[in-house]
Amino acid sequence: MTTQEIERTCNGSQSVALTTPELRRADLGLGKIFYPLGFPVEVKTNASEVLDILDTLWGRFEQTQNTIPILSEVCVVPGDSIECPPLPVYRLTPSLFISIADRDNYSIVDMERNSAEIWLSRAALRHRRYAGYYFLGSPISSIATRYTTPIHGGCVALDGRGVLLCGDSGAGKSTLSYACARSGWTYVSDDGSYLLNSSLDRIATGNCHQVRFRPSAADFFPEIEGLRMMPRAAGKPSVEMQTAMIPQLLCAQTAKVDFIVFLNRRAEGRARLASYSKDMARTYLQQGLFGPENSRGPQLETIERLLSAEVFELRYRDLSWAVSRLQQMVRERL
């Protein structure tokens, strides 16, 4: 990648210019292919710690897609600091997804070229969860535009029939997804699902290897009490749990979606499951799209295929009732 300058404004009027020297591939002598969400990502780096972090982040995924690998080049720069860098700010253009914490810690994902350039300091690598969540995982944005349609929703399956759980922030997507999994459902994702553009069967994939909760979820699930909290991109703290911690959980990378359920736990009145407007569902599903213009057509087609599934709204307050009602919905339509 040739030299480019990225400017951001921080602390009011202060402007910081980041100059990116060309990555010298000869210096990135370490490499490995990972399969986040089942898609190949070829990582080249000059630091073994990068591969260790990505093995924790992506190492459990199995390859399910034979797409051209996304190239992710990660250059680690020296430094004596032990302090964790600041949380990044984000810039999004039609073709670029940029995360910037400071002049030594930033990533540039080129969604048209199917590549990512990531620069990290040694200080960032000492904070593995920070480096993984905010920077090393950023090539997912290329998967989310080139090969899939991102959905702000969890996904679970019962008897081979997938349920996409959608709703605004705070609707309980992660909590209900995990509650279903604890009740014997198959867990696919908590609040980030991806519909495969190449499939005609409404196939959703997600990160079945972790669940992220609001801290208040410990009131329902005592097993997450004491797990470490971490700020998320939106600034809201989350508790992250690896599903491998609970051996009895059934997990799968993909599921065929037969139902879309919009969650509403703030509504007054009795709890109920009722039909939901497909026009309103379409508006919700389209609002999360981003990336190059040439990705929009396949994504809109994928959303229309998804809307051939049944769409409902679930109004609820009691978590156990919600799980039971979803189970009834699936089994009465076999």
Q: What is the mean pLDDT of the chain?
A: 89
Does position 16 have pLDDT exceeding 50, yes or no? no
pLDDT tens-digit readout, 200-214: 999 999 999 999 888
Model confidence band, residue 224 (pLDDT cutoffs 50, 70, 90): confident
Q: Which fold has domain 149-331?
A: Rossmann fold (3.40.50)
For 151-160, what is the mean pLDDT? Answer: 97
Residue 268: what pLDDT?
Answer: 78
CB 18 within 8 A of CB 103: yes
Model confidence band, residue 316 (pLDDT cutoffs 50, 70, 90): very high
CB 131 within 8 A of CB 265: no
- Give the residue from 77, 63, 2, 67 showing the smallest Cα distance to 34: 63
- Give the residue from 194, 184, 193, 137 showing the smallest Cα distance to 157: 184
Report pTM.
0.89
Model confidence band, residue 68 (pLDDT cutoffs 50, 70, 90): very high
CATH 3.40.50 in the chain is located at 149-331
